[in-house]
Chains A and B, each alone.
Chain A
Amino acid sequence: MEGRHSVAGPWFAVHQVGGGWKTLDEIYLSNGRQTTKVKVQSKVDWEDEHA
């Protein structure tokens, strides 16, 4: 299969830096045999806490 295609998302969010995991959505994830509900989560931290 050539090229890339989106299967979920995109998601947009505003994070508080260092605020931990943020749930963006809940979706179903499947491998063709089993399906499970999952939370889509993301977080953002500073590369370096020292300015």
Chain B
Amino acid sequence: MKATGVTMSRLRILFFLLLLGGLSTLSGAESGHGPTRAYPEPHGEQLCASGCALSRHPTPPLTRERYRELRRDYLEKGSQEALDELLYFGPQTRLKLETDRDLRPSARLERLQRELKRERVLVSFRLIDSEGVERVKMPPMNVPLDLRHVFEPLQAQGVQPPEASGTVKRVGLGHIWQRI
């Protein structure tokens, strides 16, 4: 499409206004760009739990054999390591449990099912100086596990408001792996 003279003039005005907007963020003023929001951004053909841009690290498949070993070790022996690994596999464990005809009700099974329902966490982030001033801050953001998010804009004092991105993944009963 060929731009007319009037259209080019409007484009120049728009460019100048956008440039002013960009300079205002470079002035060092406190961020006034609105609340921080989280935007999901899965990438790759599979949902990448690591969030790495250059490589894909989805959670490996939970084989039937390994599931049976973990099920036995946790439900029959109460192994904490087995519980951690079942939670690491999260959605895969949930699927296996749904079709497992050999399960018997038990307190351990209830605990596992209860823990598998935890699918969201609050992630907070900050850059804090030696005087305790939070120069950049991301308030607690409610995000699901295993899905990369972009967080913008972060709240900033004296610097251009940055953005952040990352992923969180459960790796045990009380532990979360994070890339940010």
Contact = CB atoms under 8 A, between A and B. Distances in A.
B119 to A, nearest CB: 8
A42 B179 contact: no
B163 A31 contact: no
A44 B176 contact: yes
B120 interface: yes
Interface residues of B, number: 39
Contacts of A46: 118, 121-122
A33 B128 CA distance: 18
Interface residues of A, number: 36
A51 B121 contact: no
Interface string A8-24: 01111111111001001
B45 interface: no
Sorted from nearest, which 8 A-B pairs have the closest CB atoms?
A: A47-B120, A38-B127, A51-B114, A45-B122, A31-B159, A44-B176, A31-B28, A42-B125
A44 B123 contact: yes
Contacts of A14: 171, 175-178
A45 B121 contact: yes
Given A33-B28, A47-B142, A38 B135 contact: yes
